[in-house]
Structure formats: structure tokens, C-alpha cells
Amino acid sequence: MKFLDEAKVYIRSGDGGAGAVSFRREKFIEFGGPDGGDGGRGGDVWVEAVNGLNTLIDFRYQQHFKAKTGTHGMGRNRTGAGGADVTLKVPVGTQIFEEDNETLIVDMVAEGQRYRLAAGGNGGFGNAHFKSSTNQAPNWANPGLEGEEKTLWLRLKLIADAGLVGLPNAGKSTFLAACTRARPKIANYPFTTLHPNLGVATVDSQEFILADIPGLIEGAHEGVGIGDRFLGHVERTRVLLHLVSAQEEDVAKAYKTVKHELEAYGGGLEDKPEIVALAQIDVLDEDELKAKAKALAKACGSPPLLISAVTNRGMIEALRALRSVISAAKAGEESA
């Protein structure tokens, strides 16, 4: 399945049905009077967050969503049926924006959450509605009100507990594959990962969701490389695991490059709890490892974790460190 995290859609709610002009005509009833029924209400357009989706690819193939028009009223005081609603099913974490792509309408953050994007038009009154002691035979009725139409942007920000960031080929996808059942593409060239991948990691019988996004390079906030388009997917995470490859000549520079891009992007990423790890340490001997670990510690201000997804060294410690921050954040949210 292709990954799509932004889509533009057109929606229109249903028009209300027209009221009816009708008079009761039966044998032996001399003054039957008006009996035109009201029109039915037009259908609404809803959005609903559902489980099992992690892409907006469905909106690549259908961009127009129109609810049904209400049925017109009929004689014998029969009210028209309401028009059928239409529901856009989106992944949890989808944001709905106005046509300007800046004004947020609703953020779908919980499974089962529903929101009405456009209300259907009310049905028109039939002539029975207008009868009175001074007007006993009204011969007019109201048309139904028109529905609403809008152009909207859908933008997906995946909901994960922890996010993996780093330069291309820092070992993020290998880390994800080693500790979850996700199977991202892994190869020895930059930008192997072209879209975010999600996996469920388990440590000490506790689970959390891990997101791997495409690597950042210097100038990503200005669109260099793949750019910072996918950083939105780690905005909702509670902690970032910053991987620095042990194969980098200057690990301090590699760390600072990504850190600068996170700060340039904004979105609160620069303030998120960060765990720094020196990855792919199986390629170094002990002396090189100590030197690079010391240089990275000086750059980030604390001793980094030392991990190797190939030999499984330090993996459990990394997962436990992530879980610890996630658990503390969840406890803080519940107490608040």
C-alpha cells in the first residue's frame, strides 16, 4: 500500500427537500383544506477516525463526497425522508484544514471520534404549515435550503509513542526491524526510507509504538534531500531516539546537523525528551568506540547509549529508556 499523508477533498452536504402544495380532496368532505407535507432534511457530511488505517491513499482515488438530497414533501401531510449522510473514514491522527491549508477545523486524535464537517439543508415547509384562521387555503410552500460545500485539506500526523531521527543510513530502519515486526526496506544507500514506518516494540511485557521517518540532511528545513515534510509524524511522539551512526567520521557534527534541523522545523520538536544513541557500533574496535562515544557525549551533553541492532547489544537498554520516558509522560497526562 502506498503512503499518502496529505489529500485535498471537496465535500457537499445535501439540499433540503421542497415542501408540497396539496389539498385534501375526498368525496363527501367539502372543505378538505391544505395537506402538503414538509420536505426532508439533506444529509450531513461527517468525518470519523477509524482503526486499521495509517495512510490517506483512499483519497487519491476519490476526492468528491456528496450527501443525498432530502425527499420532497407529499400530499396527505407526508413528510419527505431525510437524505443519507456520507462519512469520510480517516486514520487516527488526521487533521482537517480549511481550503487555505492553515485554519485547523478538527484534529482526529481518538479512535471512533466523529465530527460534522457540513450540515445538510433543512427541508421546506409544505402548505399545511401556513394554514391559519385567516388563510385557510395557502397555495404556496417553501423550497428546501441548500447544503454547504467546502474544499478541505486532510493532513495525517501518525500517532506514535517514540520517534526515530537521524541522518540517512544512521540505522533507524534496522533498529525498527530488530525490535518490532515491521519490515522496512533496508539498504546501504541514503534515503532508502522514503516514507514513515510504524512498528510495535515490546519490552518487559509492555508495548509502545515506534515511528521511523526518512533521514534528515543539512538544509532539510529548506527542502534539501527529502526535506522536513515527514517531521510532522514525530510531532505527537513523547520521546525522540536520536541515532548517530558509528560509521560517521565526525559524530558530533552528525548529531548537531540533525539537531539544527529539528530546531529549524519547530513544532515543539526541539523541546521533546531526547535519548541519544551511537548506533552500528559493531563496526568499531574498542578504542574507536571510546573516542566516538566521548565526542558524542560532549556534543549532546550526556553519555550516549551504545547499540548495535546486528549483535543486539544495547537494544534492550534503549527500549527500556524509551519506555521509561513514555510511561512518565502518560502518568503526567493522566494526573493532569
Query: Which segments are annotated as binding site for GTP?
Result: 166-173, 191-195, 212-215, 308-310
Binding residues: 166-173, 191-195, 212-215, 308-310
The whole-angstrom separation of Cα 219 and Cα 210 is 25
Annotated binding-site residues for Mg(2+) read: 173, 193
Tell me how far apart the alpha carbons of residues 53 and 172 are, in angstroms, rounded to a whole number. Answer: 23
